[in-house]
Structure 1
């Protein structure tokens, strides 16, 4: 087995692509050179354009691919490379009848056939620019599903500004040099996504508290207001785990500082939040205020960390603090400097960090970002290059440094980082949300295909601002949004600095009741959700999935973008869904919370026949043990059988890497007029103490309930005449 790229081969040709050293002149023979195609994994092929002799360093991939042999002669999906009019174009013919998905974070339909987007991370308030076809993140990736349910994926490994069109051909046109293309071709879309995960990595297992409901605003200030919000949640018995701090907590928007008047003692505030069962997440932007005497600016200047302009001077832009400089995260020294800043910050008791404005956003300039010819100096495996090359990965490099800093500051805790800007593979470092949406029905409905396609592009931990960031939300809109938003992987209410409040109780008692029921449903599902997140951290499959995953061969499911799956066993149908296409087979409607079936705004939840879904009791935050008792929701298939899994660990820390977890497989089987529910297998070294369990068997006639001890419960079915 040989490597496609020796570690020392950094300057190969004009076609060297992302993050490569300055290109050497192309020899005349390159014009007639052939595409290099080699197998790099099970059903995975790498294609190098003419003139590229080895795979260059990639920021999207975990590691440089290694060749494992030649491609089979019948390999169908093959890219065509062209270079013309200062552009690099790659064309991939779409198989007849294939449906296309992925393409990352953009507005529009779930099914991406006939769409065209721009891959250039952009601060796009209310998705107004280009109709949302150019947003905060770039994922040069397309997933295709053929009529027979087999699937393929195409990864264009380039960070440069590009367009991606998905018509009868997939056309990727870049402003940079030619790039490698990776094609995955497997038996199902799930198998393709597992292949993508082997290439770009998976989401690290987050702390369990990050799966709870979260409340944010621009901004909760002063610190007494933060505690008022926390107290209201507890007083009103609405479960919640996190309060977020937007930019107004800072001293003059200087990052890594606290306003001495409104947040004079952040350590005390965090201590008070923790006492109430809350965690805190604090915003940190990349723009550093130009202010001699300000520690962060002074230390960065001494260490020469700033991005430079085309003339070699520190680049100055304007953001919230006024005039700022930006760290050059392509430099290892800069990332180390940035990471070290988190030591004192996290010592104040912060639990998570929110990196915003990191496209990077720059005010009052054309394009709302740095000039294309700004200079990034690189280092290590990253070569010097213009901002045009590194713009799309600026946010990803930032959150990489942020995550490393938080890990160093709190080595015994799992970091939680949220980012607005990212790139393909950035799920390794941060969760994401879909940016500055608006309080409109259109944005509510768009949020579902946006989140699903992020999952189909390798990012499973995402969601929109529930209720809409900007604008005025009507009570009806907000209630509908929280009723479905409780089931996004990332579930956070957030709003702009405006008179309207958008907390669950802000719209009156009726909406508050709807919100409470919806959030309580999420908390009952936390054992199942945590199990899904663990699975995603292992195999890369999304938490929130398209309905067609239930049967990739069913053409009627391919365009469904109102209903969605959580994992493989739970179907979510929003109340506002109009004639949704739902999978065939056994799907039984279930109730999780008193009143959820009576509230017309709640999403309908259906459990798959053949599934066992683990549930907890209603708790107010994830610090409470929700598995006293554990509930197993059982829905038998046509053969009278069902199976499901429950993952448990400490909820934080890294003991699970040493086997300190428990993954239990439950199995149910009907035997005449009884159903026996037991344990089919266990994995991990987490102690298995005896505990009570409630089994709820969902049948077409109703629910049969039995109580017993974990691993040994028998239900007696009522006799029918």
Structure 2
């Protein structure tokens, strides 16, 4: 329980005594005699919103981050008044709010503290801007750990760190550099084996301090706006992440090709250069689904134009690439060149769609085309106009995806790298300055782009990627980690960034494989490919300043390693697609740091390198040069070495020998891993059988496989195939139960089941309780069995 102490700290201001409260449905409002109001809203039993104002009333409630379709509703809510505090209780938690000073403490139902205020809410008057800097501080206990915050180039556990959120074009950033391109003001706390989350939904420049300034205090503050945060109770980290992801929203399924391998460079031009790259992929038999065009495809960097010298007939070129399985993705930036002969500029000018300075003129900044004006994507009318501009690119020319860059927004040759803070924005009818709109500018651009691509790609699914993002951007777009560097340190950073983004709601992310700036060695590129194929978004990209970065820019050994691992990704596409389905249906992150996988094991709390890909594949990248092995932590449970099929018991650190063409990969015992045959691009082959790698476990395990037509929207009408496998291993028996759902009929007719780690020789096989004949030689020598896909139960019996 918080004691009532005199609050004096740095001249800040604090709430005073609560004098009254009102309970209205799911909201409880507490009033002080200093015009401070706290509004507590119970959205779910484990999801509570805390909103403070210091002016006696609340401004209009509006957020770009919150998904309007998120589910809410609670099972139990009771408000009681005691002598010293008010108590709000749900079926999961109790919240006690002190009458003397409005500080609060949240408990579980057994009265264990989950989260307690230190100073709690306080504020500082900001005379420069005529508003408040709003602050919150929480007491932190020994052993408490912190995770999340999206795109941060630092260790996974944020304990002891101080971080800044302000979307910034941070070219060639370094480890621990702040701030970066994305703003996700959401963190997960873990104390006493219980997880909770805090989402501080404030789009101003924000800061988080995890026991950096004061040892046992965690604080967060913003340079304006409201103190408005959501508390999420687990107690499992999985529950926290899932609830946050539901709150801020999930994407729709991407087309399957978007999960293939992508190749990009600044820049592929002219057309003959792009065609050479495409031909080389097919010649070397390295699968590839998408090729990207950077800014040089445009006429003088004007968005929605083509350089007719480099690309005389874009539609023909895009069609010819598509015939060979390549989808074309083009870049579109926010800066619109000031040129009255340029139709896009002229139209935006006539319709008054550009951002303005406070004293009236259009905001002008220098980007690639030279002097530019910038659309105000916070205006719904502008977003609708912007979406309509994609007709020619998508409908007429046949481009399949759009890549939004420079949308922090980035401006050249100014110290702050962005707009002046006095620029005005519509903010969906809530007019404000750039101080408030800066962090969501990129997301609103990506949102408008997504709606345009979706409109004109229909009946196919859209693909959009953005560099800058705020919480909730995952509803519209994938993302990557920005302009990294070809160094071993950046390989380490990329591994952590994508894990962190994944548990921060942004699942569809990856890094520029090989590094954007500078030139990787063949060894570094190979090690990066080996990591990158296990990231949801998989793309090589480089600045091109230091030479080429296609796989064939390196020696034969690196080419072979690239082919081997890209082949593995294409084999694992049904597994990856299922991961994505679990993400959009259930809010489960596609990559799981070890602490997410097993928060009760204290050994996982500071692990950075290893992660779980999906639910059942453990990946540990090689992050140092000249390494043919490494120490790694195997989480608790039973695992199989993917390369040797050797069984390993987890819960310990081990040394793993590896080779240049391998990294440590382990499969969870009991798992069924679905695989396609290797294809050079998604949809190239029709195949007769789906391979299922089954790893024996004594006990039970569940596995899932989701499939559909790989593009389009028929899956929303029930035309999908969902397979749920339950394996039960005994000393001399193995049961496989299969439950099927959905109306989609896959084109294969059989399962090829590879049996791995079986501790007995099979004597009898029953399918749906009927004994069947089988080829004993094939089963004993090659350990696989072919069965028709329409079975419900499979039973192997041994001696």
**What's the TM-score, normalizing by structure 1?**
0.91
- Residues 348-406 of structure 1 show CA distances to partners (whole Å, capped at 9, x for unaligned) of 11000000000010000111000011111344xx4111001100000001011011111
Greater mean alpha carbon deviation, residues 667-676 or residues 605-614: 667-676
SS at match of 2:353: coil
Matched, 1:424 2:471: yes
| Partner Cα distance (1:690, 1:246) in 2 | 39
Instruction: Find the counterpart in structure 1 of residue 407 from structure 2.
Output: 358
Contact 1:617 1:628 in 2 (8 A): no
Contact 2:518 2:546 in 1 (8 A): no
1:324 CA drift (Å): 0.3
- Residues 245-281 of structure 1 show CA distances to partners (whole Å, capped at 9, x for unaligned) of 1000000000000001001111111101111111111
Instruction: Find the counterpart in structure 1 of residue 167 from structure 2.
Output: 121
SS at match of 1:127: coil
SS at match of 2:227: coil
Instruction: Find the counterpart in structure 2 of residue 22 from structure 1.
Output: none
Instruction: Find the counterpart in structure 1 of residue 4 from structure 2.
Output: none
Instruction: Find the counterpart in structure 1 of residue 239 from structure 2.
Output: 191
Instruction: Find the counterpart in structure 2 of residue 661 from structure 1.
Output: 720
Greater mean alpha carbon deviation, residues 82-91 or residues 186-195: 82-91
1:643 CA drift (Å): 2.6
| Partner Cα distance (1:511, 1:547) in 2 | 30
| Partner Cα distance (1:440, 1:519) in 2 | 21
Instruction: Find the counterpart in structure 1 of residue 288 from structure 2.
Output: 240
- Residues 657-683 of structure 1 show CA distances to partners (whole Å, capped at 9, x for unaligned) of 11111111123334664534342x122
Instruction: Find the counterpart in structure 2 of residue 135 from structure 1.
Output: 180
How is 1:197-236 mapped onto 2 (pairs within 5 angstroms)? 197-236=245-284
| Partner Cα distance (2:687, 2:33) in 1 | 64
| Partner Cα distance (1:286, 1:707) in 2 | 54
| Partner Cα distance (1:662, 1:144) in 2 | 37
Instruction: Find the counterpart in structure 1 of residue 652 from structure 2.
Output: none
Contact 2:610 2:632 in 1 (8 A): yes
Instruction: Find the counterpart in structure 1 of residue 230 from structure 2.
Output: 182
Matched, 1:83 2:151: no
| Partner Cα distance (1:675, 1:544) in 2 | 29
Contact 2:618 2:667 in 1 (8 A): yes
Instruction: Find the counterpart in structure 2 of residue 35 from structure 1.
Output: 38
SS at match of 1:580: strand
How is 1:161-560 mapped onto 2 (pairs within 5 angstroms)? 161-167=205-211, 168-346=216-394, 347-379=396-428, 382-560=429-607
| Partner Cα distance (2:591, 2:632) in 1 | 17
Contact 1:494 1:502 in 2 (8 A): yes
1:201 CA drift (Å): 0.6
1:413 CA drift (Å): 1.5
Report which of the two has the higher share of strand: 2
- Residues 527-583 of structure 1 show CA distances to partners (whole Å, capped at 9, x for unaligned) of 000000011011222111102233210010122111111111110122347422220
- Residues 184-223 of structure 1 show CA distances to partners (whole Å, capped at 9, x for unaligned) of 0122011111111221011221111000011000001111
Structure 1: gaps (5+ residues) = 1-14, 16-27
| Partner Cα distance (1:587, 1:465) in 2 | 30
Cα 1:236–1:415, aligned 2, differ >3 Å: closer, same or farther? same
Contact 2:486 2:519 in 1 (8 A): yes
Contact 1:281 1:352 in 2 (8 A): yes
| Partner Cα distance (1:682, 1:276) in 2 | 34
Contact 2:519 2:546 in 1 (8 A): no
1:431 CA drift (Å): 0.4
| Partner Cα distance (1:478, 1:64) in 2 | 42
Instruction: Find the counterpart in structure 2 of residue 708 from structure 1.
Output: 787
How is 1:74-113 mapped onto 2 (pairs within 5 angstroms)? 75-76=106-107, 77=115, 80-86=120-126, 87-113=133-159
Structure 2: gaps (5+ residues) = 1-14, 16-30, 80-87, 96-105, 108-114, 127-132, 625-629, 646-656, 760-780
Contact 1:280 1:350 in 2 (8 A): yes
Cα 1:526–1:47, aligned 2, differ >3 Å: closer, same or farther? same
| Partner Cα distance (2:746, 2:265) in 1 | 41
Greater mean alpha carbon deviation, residues 57-66 or residues 84-93: 57-66
SS at match of 1:183: strand
| Partner Cα distance (2:644, 2:632) in 1 | 22
Contact 2:268 2:294 in 1 (8 A): yes
SS at match of 1:483: helix
Cα 1:717–1:550, aligned 2, differ >3 Å: closer, same or farther? farther
Cα 1:54–1:568, aligned 2, differ >3 Å: closer, same or farther? farther
The count of corresponding residues between Structure 1 and Structure 2 is 685
